[in-house]
């Protein structure tokens, strides 16, 4: 997204062809040197002692400042588990995650999280939900109102500030969740299939909104999705994971402009190549 050099190198006409799967993880080397998130040899197992099952194995990944990275892979490959480790909700069984060079051991204000479920407080208005973290921070009322107004306008909900969640559509609820995450001004946004429960039309509208917001806000985003088209539309790099236990299979740098056309030949070329690689792993789960 905006702020990351891979999209600034050229327009649609100069877009490079999608990388071949034969290159393995060579795409990982394309990450810029300004490392925001460093995932080092992270593994995660679940279960009691002596009867554990691995969910993730030896994940090495770096995400640059202001970079938008999408995680793709078959169901159960550990995408959400990895996101929760970066968020500080889960501890890795081995390895470490660094944010700005500091080990992640707990959740922190530098990492905002948007879930597939809307996770809004039903007794608070739209404005009250967006304001919640600001109240915890102790910001003055006037400052809170200004921040809330800014981010509700940014997500197109300025006219709905006094409504309650029960009065909103699914797409509007997710806009509130995004505004709430942004209002706390984290450097990193972690998104776990945030549009997965929405209908196809609303999903594309919110993809457009997120792309626009990223061009304005310049966050570092780690985004879990099952949609290959969504990943190509949003990401600077797409990371494909193997079937369980999850490992990194291939990294695709997406050399397309910020404003993307889902029907452009270069776009569909990326979509086709990534689909082929993902299907190799899906076939292992559903032969």
pLDDT of residue 32: 53
Q: Residue 31: its pLDDT value, please?
A: 52
Give yes or no for a contact between 228 and 275, defined as CB atoms under 8 angstroms apart.
yes
Q: Write the pLDDT tens digit of every residue in 137-174.
A: 899 999 999 999 999 999 999 999 999 999 999 999 99
Is the distance from CB of 36 to CB of 219 less than 8 angstroms? Answer: no
pTM of the model: 0.86
Q: Which domains does the chain have, with CATH numbers?
A: 5-110+186-285 (3.40.50.300)
Instruction: Judge residue 200's burial from the number of C-beta atoms within 10 Å of its C-beta, 0-12 exposed, 13-18 middle, 19 or more buried.
Output: exposed
Contacts of 13 (CB under 8 A, 6+ apart): none
Distance CA 180, CA 126 (A): 9
Give the pLDDT of residue 40. 96
Residue for token pair 């792309």: 211
Distance CA 114, CA 223 (A): 9
Q: Which segments in the chain show pLDDT lower than 50? A: 1-30
User: What is the percent of the chain where pLDDT is above 70?
Assistant: 88
């Amino acid at each position: 997204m905006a702020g990351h050099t891979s999209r600034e190198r050229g327009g649609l006409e100069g877009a490079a062809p999608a990388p071949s799967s034969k290159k393995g993880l060579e795409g990982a080397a394309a990450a810029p040197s300004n490392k925001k998130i460093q995932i080092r040899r992270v593994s995660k197992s679940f279960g009691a002692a002596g009867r554990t099952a691995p969910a993730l194995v030896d994940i090495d990944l770096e995400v640059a400042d202001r970079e938008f990275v999408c995680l793709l892979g078959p169901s159960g490959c550990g995408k959400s588990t990895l996101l929760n480790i970066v968020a500080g909700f889960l501890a890795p069984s081995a390895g470490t995650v660094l944010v700005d060079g500091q080990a992640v051991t707990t959740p922190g204000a530098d990492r905002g999280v948007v879930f597939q479920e809307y996770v809004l407080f039903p007794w608070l208005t739209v404005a009250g939900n967006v304001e919640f973290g600001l109240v915890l921070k102790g910001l003055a009322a006037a400052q809170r109102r200004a921040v809330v107004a800014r981010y509700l306008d940014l997500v197109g909900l300025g006219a709905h500030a006094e409504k309650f969640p029960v009065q909103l559509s699914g797409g509007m609820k997710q806009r509130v969740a995004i505004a709430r995450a942004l209002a706390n001004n984290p450097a990193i946004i972690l998104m776990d299939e945030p549009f997965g429960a929405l209908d196809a039309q609303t999903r594309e509208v919110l993809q457009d909104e997120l792309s626009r917001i990223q061009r304005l806000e310049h966050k570092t985003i780690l985004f879990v999705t099952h949609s290959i088209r969504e990943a190509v539309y949003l990401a600077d790099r797409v990371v494909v994971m193997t079937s369980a236990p999850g490992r990194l299979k291939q990294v695709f740098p997406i050399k397309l402009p910020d404003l993307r056309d889902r029907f452009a030949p270069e776009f569909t070329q990326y979509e086709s190549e990534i689909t082929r690689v993902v299907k190799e792993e899906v076939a292992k789960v559903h032969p």
